[in-house]
């Protein structure tokens, strides 16, 4: 959701990926016996990352299997949230999908949701001086941690049928890129919902410097991300200027009541490394997965001009597999269960 222009960009190691990736046994932590451990490390860094996130699932009764040919199970939607928030942002959307007979689950990335860190100085009465310097365990997290956690969820879900992987914002888009590169055979469809996509440039930080991002509205942060290792935002600020900036950037058409509810669903710390990670997509792997992009035409923190640039670059990368593009008149905060979004996802299933 929020990227800081003044943080150092430190690209992470990219993986060498075989497009014919064997399917990994979802019930065995070591993977397919035919796949060597070094090969698995090339897919998603391979170290035993701690699953600090939690998968929050709402399972509806699956649609009837097809009677003709091989019986195909109904797809499962796996939903990945943006930075500074959690799986709770998907809750109402999961309810709508469930009522239409679809399986869906939302993933809490490591360090988010129940695993989020809230600085002591963030609580009322706030100590703003201490808040600017208080260390955060979130600083050690990377996009590798995020991708490895979601990969485990997708692996388990894919054992029960096809997976439609959807992501929102910057973290959601980064994870979709990583998993599209690493495990294209386990993803039926990628859905970018107002989400970042790195094609010609390697990092989200790189794209923040392009002309198409020139109209982006800043979100006030506290402390120095380079020193803290996190982008820290005081969503509980009582400063009217801060609240006005939050609304303008993220939720311009929200009522004041809806804005307060949204702000109270956010967490203060996001790993600064997210915006410097190399999440560039690969035409050989990510590029072979069918994909949809849902543009948010009222987003002021991720301008529609930048969304369009990313879509153009992706379509140029794989001209035989282009985005199916939809437009929703929504700001960055959505909400994500708008009827137009529900209809788009319902149609994909």
Cα gap 44→31, rounded to integer Å = 12
Give the tens place of pLDDT for each residue, 218-240: 999 999 999 999 999 999 999 99
Q: How far is CA 116 from CA 26, 52, 196, 218, 234, in A?
A: 27, 9, 22, 23, 14
pLDDT given for residue 22 in this prediction: 35
pLDDT given for residue 73 in this prediction: 85
Whether cis (ω within 30° of 0) applies to the bond prior to 306 is no
Give the tens place of pLDDT for each residue, 142-187: 999 999 999 999 999 999 999 999 999 999 999 999 999 999 999 9
Is the pLDDT at 17 greater than 50? The verdict is: no
pLDDT tier, 119 (very low <50, low <70, confident <90, very high otherwise) = very high
Cα gap 277→181, rounded to integer Å = 14
Give the tens place of pLDDT for each residue, 306-333: 999 999 999 999 999 999 999 999 999 9
Q: Quickly count: other Cβ atoms within 10 Å of residue 142's Cβ.
A: 19
DSSP state of 200: S
């Amino acid at each position: 959701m929020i990227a800081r222009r003044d943080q150092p960009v430190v690209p992470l190691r990219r993986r060498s990926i075989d497009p014919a990736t064997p399917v990994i046994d979802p019930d065995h932590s070591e993977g397919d016996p035919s796949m060597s451990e070094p090969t698995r490390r090339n897919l998603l860094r391979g170290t035993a990352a701690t699953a600090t996130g939690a998968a929050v699932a709402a399972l509806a009764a699956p649609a009837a299997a097809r009677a003709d040919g091989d019986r195909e199970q109904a797809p499962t939607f796996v939903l990945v949230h943006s930075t500074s928030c959690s799986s709770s942002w998907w809750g109402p959307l999961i309810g709508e999908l469930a009522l239409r007979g679809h399986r869906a689950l939302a993933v809490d990335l490591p360090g988010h949701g129940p695993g989020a860190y809230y600085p002591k100085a963030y609580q009322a009465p706030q100590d703003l001086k201490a808040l600017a310097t208080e260390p955060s365990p979130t600083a050690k997290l990377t996009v590798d941690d995020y991708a490895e956690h979601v990969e485990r969820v997708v692996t388990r879900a894919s054992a029960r049928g096809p997976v439609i992987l959807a992501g929102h914002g910057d973290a959601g888009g980064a994870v979709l890129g990583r998993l599209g590169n690493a495990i294209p055979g386990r993803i039926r469809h990628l859905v970018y919902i107002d989400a970042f996509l790195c094609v010609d440039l390697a990092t989200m930080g790189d794209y923040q410097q392009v002309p198409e991002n020139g109209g982006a509205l800043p979100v006030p942060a506290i402390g120095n991300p380079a020193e803290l290792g996190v982008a820290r935002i005081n969503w509980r600020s009582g400063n009217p200027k801060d609240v006005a900036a939050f609304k303008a950037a993220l939720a311009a058409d929200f009522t004041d009541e809806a804005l307060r509810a949204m702000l109270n669903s956010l967490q203060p710390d996001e790993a600064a490394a997210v915006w410097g990670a190399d999440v560039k997509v690969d035409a050989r792997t990510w590029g072979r997965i069918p994909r949809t992009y849902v543009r948010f035409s009222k987003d002021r923190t991720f301008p529609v001009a930048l969304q369009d640039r990313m879509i153009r670059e992706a379509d140029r990368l794989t001209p035989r597999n282009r985005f199916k593009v939809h437009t929703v008149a929504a700001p960055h905060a959505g909400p994500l269960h708008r009827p137009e979004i529900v209809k788009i996802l319902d149609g994909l299933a």
